[in-house]
Amino acid sequence: MEPLKGIKVLDCSTLLPGPYCTMMMQAMGAEIIKVEPPYGDFLRKMLPECFTFLNRGKKSIAINLKEPKGREIFYRIAEDVDVLVESFRPGVAKKLGIGFEKIKSVNMKVIYASISGYGQSGPYVSHPGHDIDFQAVSGVVSVTGEPEKRKGTPAGFQAADIAGGMFAFASILAALLGRERGEKKAVYLDVSMTDGLVAWMMPRITEYFAMEMPDRSEFMARGSYGIFEAKDRKYLSLGVVEEHFWERLCKLIDATDLLQDPELRSWKGRNKNSQKILPRLREIFLTKERDRWLKLLWDANIPAAPVNEIKDIIHDPQIRFRDLIGVDEENRFAAERTKPFPVKELIRDHDDTFAPRLGEHTKQILRGLGYSNSEIEKLHEKGVIKSFSGEEE
């Protein structure tokens, strides 16, 4: 199934958030034209494997947008696209001459998505930032780490970048659906990575104010929900929330005193009185190896799982069975074989193994716009475009 087949996207974004969005669109059948500056997307050199994962199956055209002839090429491509995605700092796209109002003048039905750290308005709009900054301001950092410590730590992955990419993706799909239902005007989407994290944080924010703004140690406390070390120094997670799971856990570990304690009969009570529970659990889990504990917990129908390090993920039987992460013939991780979207029923069979080389499709796209070979050569000589030297003629 390729639900976005026939949709054409002009992707001016770099690094992670925008390419993550258009990666998912490409997986669902959309044609992605990746516009890069002559020096390329910075991620090409910074993290080439990540670049490969994000940009497989896309077409690359390298254009110098500071040149009038470069902008002319851009406008001609933009006339025929359904969606434009950009991730410049606010105001930069307009300065380059490719802002929403200009693109709308050449394409009255375009869906124009701008992804930025703080959004296109507000007191932080001109501040530079990266993922850690957006995690910090959104409150994510405040709810990570050990409850007893005064400060949390950033999430160990690019949470803000991916939130921005996912909200851009969902917003674009909604706008495309609106167009199918009769919306004829161009649409502008202001996607803020920080807003995305705040939206993800709303259940915790709601909980915080419902608890009348407790201090960090109380708010973060969890009595029967956490990470525990086993005898073999491996770790497991325990997700005991509901009362029936609590009863099963207490019976499994022979802790009838905890089960009978009236202060521990509810989720809130166990969190508030976590110090009655945690020392016991830590001591008990050290008596057996992790896999032995997991079998006991799973046999008793109690939520638990192994704590995998990244190197373990490709060998986990559940993750391996779901066939999301790709491996090569020697059982090593292979980014080019990893599926770009986890709901496999919606994506194409991914035979676009590699990402495009910088400017690989420049000549092809320009020829499609009606440029002659001599015109293309002149544009190349003047630094307006760049094409991959090994491109087929």
Domain CATH for 232: 3.30.1540.10
Within this chain, do residues 156 and 286 fall inside the same structural domain, yes or no?
A: no
pLDDT of residue 389: 67
pLDDT of residue 174: 98
145 φ/ψ angles, rounded to the nearest 5 degrees: 85, -170
pLDDT of residue 350: 64
Sheet with 59-63, edge to edge strand ranges? 187-192, 111-116, 83-86, 8-11, 31-36, 59-63, 385-386
Within this chain, do residues 12 and 97 fall inside the same structural domain, yes or no?
A: yes
Four-residue CA torsion sign, 335, 341, 342, 344: negative
pLDDT of residue 392: 41
Mean pLDDT of 34-41: 96
Do residues 33 and 8 lie in contact, with contact meaning Cβ atoms separated by under 8 Å? yes
- CB burial class (10 A; 0-12, 13-18, 19+) of residue 393? exposed
In a domain, 256, yes or no: yes
pLDDT tens digits along 5-35: 999 999 999 999 999 999 999 999 999 999 9
d(CA 77, CA 364): 12
Distance of CA 127 to the CA centre of its chain: 22
- Domain boundary (304, 322, 340) is at 322
Q: Which of 144-153, 179-188, 271-280 has the lowest mean pLDDT?
A: 144-153
Q: What ranges in the chain are assigned the alpha helix state H?
A: 17-27, 43-46, 48-55, 68-78, 92-96, 100-106, 131-138, 159-180, 193-210, 216-220, 243-252, 256-260, 267-272, 274-285, 290-299, 310-313, 317-322, 362-368, 373-381
In a domain, 262, yes or no: yes
Question: What's the Cα-to-Cα distance from 280 to each of 208, 238, 352, rounded to whole Å?
Answer: 27, 14, 52
In a domain, 353, yes or no: no
Within this chain, do residues 15 and 87 fall inside the same structural domain, yes or no?
A: yes
What share of the chain in percent tops pLDDT 90?
89
Rg of the chain (C-alpha set): 26
| Structural domain containing residue 233 | 222-322
d(CA 200, CA 251): 35
Residue with tokens 């087949």: 5
Within this chain, do residues 43 and 188 fall inside the same structural domain, yes or no?
A: yes
pLDDT tens digits along 47-65: 999 999 999 999 999 999 9
In a domain, 189, yes or no: yes
In a domain, 257, yes or no: yes
d(CA 249, CA 303): 10
For residue 393, pLDDT beyond 60: no
pLDDT tens digits along 89-119: 999 999 999 999 999 999 999 999 999 999 9
For residue 391, pLDDT beyond 50: no
d(CA 150, CA 95): 43
What are the residues whose beta carbons fall under 8 Å from the beta carbon of 125, sequence distance 6 or more? 90, 118, 119
Number of domains the chain contains: 2
In a domain, 207, yes or no: no
pLDDT of residue 62: 97
Quote the tokens at residue 131: 């993922």
d(CA 99, CA 167): 20
In a domain, 27, yes or no: yes
d(CA 60, CA 43): 14
Task: Specify the 3-state DSSP secondary structure of 246.
Answer: helix
Q: Specify the CATH number for the domain of residue 143.
A: 3.40.50.10540
Give the alpha-carbon dihedral of 147, 149, 150, 156, to 10 degrees. Answer: -80
pLDDT tens digits along 226-249: 999 999 999 999 999 999 999 999
pTM of the model: 0.93
Within this chain, do residues 34 and 169 fall inside the same structural domain, yes or no?
A: yes
Within this chain, do residues 23 and 164 fall inside the same structural domain, yes or no?
A: yes
Residue type, 70: G
Residue type, 376: I
Do residues 152 and 141 lie in contact, with contact meaning Cβ atoms separated by under 8 Å? yes
How close are the terminal C-alpha atoms of the chain, in Å? 33
The shares of helix, strand and coil residues in the chain, as percent rounded to the nearest 5, are 45, 10, 40
pLDDT of residue 1: 83
For residue 376, pLDDT beyond 90: yes
Mean pLDDT of 280-293: 98
Q: What ranges in 238-370 are assigned the alpha helix state H?
A: 243-252, 256-260, 267-272, 274-285, 290-299, 310-313, 317-322, 362-368
Within this chain, do residues 116 and 161 fall inside the same structural domain, yes or no?
A: yes
In a domain, 216, yes or no: no
